[in-house]
Every structure is written in C-alpha cells, then in structure tokens.
C-alpha cells in the first residue's frame, strides 16, 4: 500500500499518527509514505488527480490498485485490514463513544480550527479575516469545553488509558496551529496537559515535525 501525504496538513497527519500508533502497538502495516508537494500544487496535477479526483491528501493506494481518499475511511479500512490490536475496541457502547468523540473533534473543532488558523495567519497566504476569525473562535469554545471537561477525571488520553483515533485527529490539527503559532486552548489546563502528554508519545515524536 502507498499513502500519498504531506507533513503538517491535518488530514494526512491524522492517518500518519494512526499508522505510527498501530506500529508502536506491534502492527507493521508496511505502507510506503509518498509526499505530494501541495506547496508546489502537485496535488492538482494529473498524476495525483488520477488517484484522487478531488486533488486532496491523504490518498491511500490499496494493493488491488484502488484508492481511498477520505482520512477516516482510510483509518477504518486499516482497522478492518489489521483487526488484531485495532484502536477501536471494546463493547458497542465504548466503540460508540470513541467514534462520537472522534467526530466531535473532527467536525466541531478541527474544522473551525483550520478556518480560524487561515483567518489569522494563513501559511497559504490568505488575507487576514477578523470577522471569520471571531466566528470560528466562537465555534471552537463548546467542543474545547467538552474535551476539557472529559479530561477532568485525570484520564491520560481522550478516551482513557488507550490511545484512540480521536487523539490522532485532535493532535493532527494542533500541529498545524503550532506551526502558525496560534494557541487555541485558552484557560484549559487539562487540554494543555493532554497535549504535552500526547506529544511525548513515541508515535507522535516520530510523526510530528512541529
Ligand atoms: N475530507 C477529507 C479532506 C482532505 C483534505 O481536504 N485535505 C487537505 C489537506 S489537510 C487538502 O488536501 N487540501 C488541498 C485542497 O483541498 O486543495 C479527508 O478527511 O481526508
């Protein structure tokens, strides 16, 4: 399998963290990682569009030559492909909550976070947009509070003792914010402590560049 990715971008980073976490837990997936240079616009060139008509990363090339182009679908595929040691485990209730938290992180927080980052300090050179920034900052408060409260019971990671897909999704977006030097935590010590803990993990140290 081949993963077409670019470091720093949140959606590829989420998958890269997931793969690294699984490898730390003993599952070797043997996925070749190939950089698509989005700064040079390579993701919109015919070679990449032939893999992914939407011109986005990540894109996973399967051994049968087909492609997956959605980060969560890629992770779920790898969970199915390598079920021994899958991150999503436990009772239907535990799995339901783990999926719920990942969706909350991705949809309610990571989406506004990316838009906020581009509104205040876009690495792609978008003009500053204070109105958009204020809207996105407001939208982030409820999911940030939700995560802060869920960490109040001293659990080390978002779902408890064991790393989850939600941890990968959240940290992937936070790396982008560090790169553009924007702090979105506010007065949330539990989230700050989680961030420190997560970044000290071997998988995070292997993948994160910022
Ligand atoms: N829903 C997709 C979104 C993929 C996506 O938008 N990736 C970004 C990088 S984080 C990208 O390729 N942006 C370039 C573009 O849309 O032109 C996923 O979860 O994988």
| Residue pLDDT, tens place only, 115-152 | 999 999 998 889 999 999 999 999 999 999 999 999 99
Provide the pLDDT for residue 124.
84
Note the CATH number of domain 92-201.
1.20.1050.10
Top CATH class of 2-81 equals alpha beta
Output the CA 59–ligand 1 centroid distance in Å.
9
Distances in whole angstroms, Cα of residue 178 to Cα of each of 39, 66, 173, 175, 202: 18, 34, 9, 5, 19
Residue 110 has pLDDT above 90, yes or no: yes
Provide the pLDDT for residue 184.
97
Distances in whole angstroms, Cα of residue 169 to Cα of each of 4, 119, 126: 18, 21, 24
Cα–Cα distance measured from residue 104 to residue 192, given in angstroms and rounded to the nearest whole number: 18
Q: Which has the closest alpha carbon to 177: 149, 147, 136?
A: 136
Q: Where are the domains of the chain?
A: 2-81, 92-201
Provide the pLDDT for residue 99.
98
**Tokens 């939407």 sit on residue:** 54
Provide the pLDDT for residue 135.
98
Output the CA 153–ligand 1 centroid distance in Å.
34
Provide the pLDDT for residue 83.
97
| Residue pLDDT, tens place only, 14-47 | 999 999 999 999 999 999 999 999 999 999 999 9
Would you say 16 and 207 are in contact if contact means Cβ atoms under 8 Å apart? yes
Output the CA 154–ligand 1 centroid distance in Å.
33
Tell me if 2-81 shares its fold with 92-201. Answer: no
Distances in whole angstroms, Cα of residue 98 to Cα of each of 46, 67, 160: 37, 26, 10
Q: What letters, b where the CB count within 10 A reaches 16 and e where it falls short, cover 10-38?
A: bbbbbbbbbbbbbbeeebeeebebeebeb
Average pLDDT of the segment spanning 48-74: 98
Q: Which of 56, 72, 124 to mutate to test the pocket of ligand 1 (most atoms within 8 A of CB)?
A: 56
> Percent of the chain, pLDDT > 70?
100
Q: How confident is the model at residue 98 (pLDDT cuts 50, 70, 90)?
A: very high
Residue 200 has pLDDT above 90, yes or no: yes
């Amino acid at each position: 399998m081949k993963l077409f990715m670019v470091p720093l971008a949140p959606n590829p980073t989420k998958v890269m963290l997931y793969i690294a976490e699984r490898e730390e837990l003993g599952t070797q997936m043997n996925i070749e990682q190939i950089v698509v240079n989005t700064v040079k616009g390579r993701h919109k060139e015919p070679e990449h569009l032939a893999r992914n008509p939407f011109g986005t990363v990540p894109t996973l090339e399967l051994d049968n030559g087909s492609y997956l182009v959605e980060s969560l679908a890629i992770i779920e595929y790898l969970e199915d492909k390598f079920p021994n040691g899958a991150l999503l485990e436990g009772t239907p209730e535990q799995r339901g909550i783990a999926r719920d938290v990942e969706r909350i992180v991705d949809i309610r927080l990571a989406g506004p976070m990316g838009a906020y980052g581009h509104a205040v300090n876009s690495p792609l050179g978008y003009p500053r947009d204070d109105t958009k920034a204020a809207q996105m900052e407001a939208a982030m408060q409820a999911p940030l509070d939700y995560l802060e409260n869920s960490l109040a019971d001293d659990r080390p990671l978002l779902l408890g003792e064991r790393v989850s897909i939600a941890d990968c999704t959240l940290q992937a977006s936070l790396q982008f914010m560090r790169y553009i030097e924007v702090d979105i935590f506010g007065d949330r010590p539990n989230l700050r402590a989680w961030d420190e803990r997560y970044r000290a993990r071997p998988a995070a140290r292997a993948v994160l560049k910022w």
